[in-house]
Amino acid sequence: MIVTLIVACEVGFWVLLAAGLALRYWAKMPRASVAVLLCEPLLEVILLVVTAIDLKNGAEPDWKHGLAAVYIGYSIALGHYTIKWVDVRVAHRFAGGPPPSTPKYGVPRAIHEWKLAARWILAAVIAMGLLQGATWYVGPDGATESLAQWQQRMLFLIALNVIIALGYTVFPKKAPAITPTKG
């Protein structure tokens, strides 16, 4: 049931995002768009409550509960960023907005990567906190090894994002050289 709910939350996220952007750009109803987009966090609240109820009703903590915590962490830390990322591209493609401006080279790219890494680190920390809360919630009698494994995966995720951002800092991508054209 938890996996089905996670999939439903993910589908719901994209449906709400599409509906919100359709209201904003095609129906020209920006307030309605904001209202729809503000419904997005309700999906995570529902998932959190159902996961807690599932554990309280005696379900053995397993990978599904860990995945729910990771999904909630991602949604909290990167959900707004994802919405903005899609919004800029939809505005550019369908509403004459400016093109997306993700930096590609040098220090600006390294700064971008560190900001993105910070979001992923926040997502991992939130997930780890939820996983620890689930461990305490279940108590010492429950089998919580799978939750601990998810916490270890989140530490790996943190390390991976730091390595990627550090790579862009230490080895910055250089802009291609402009070759003069002969006229």
Is 182 within a domain? Answer: no
What is the model's pTM?
0.88
pLDDT at 127: 96
Alpha-carbon distance of 137 to 143, in angstroms, equals 12
Work out whether the CA dihedral 60, 63, 66, 72 comes out positive or negative: negative
Specify the pLDDT at position 139.
81
Helix axes 106-138, 145-170, angle to 10 degrees: 170
Nearest by Cα to 153 from 134, 175, 128: 128
| pLDDT at res. 111 | 97
Counting as low any pLDDT under 70, the low residues of the chain are 183
Is residue 180, in this structure, part of any structural domain at all?
A: no
pLDDT of residue 151: 96
Q: Give the count of beta carbons closer than 10 Å to the beta carbon of residue 163.
A: 10
Is residue 8 situated within a structural domain?
yes
As a three-state string, the secondary structure of 9-23 is HHHHHHHHHHHHHHH
Give the domain range for residue 75. Answer: 2-170
178 within domain boundaries: no
Res 183: pLDDT: 58
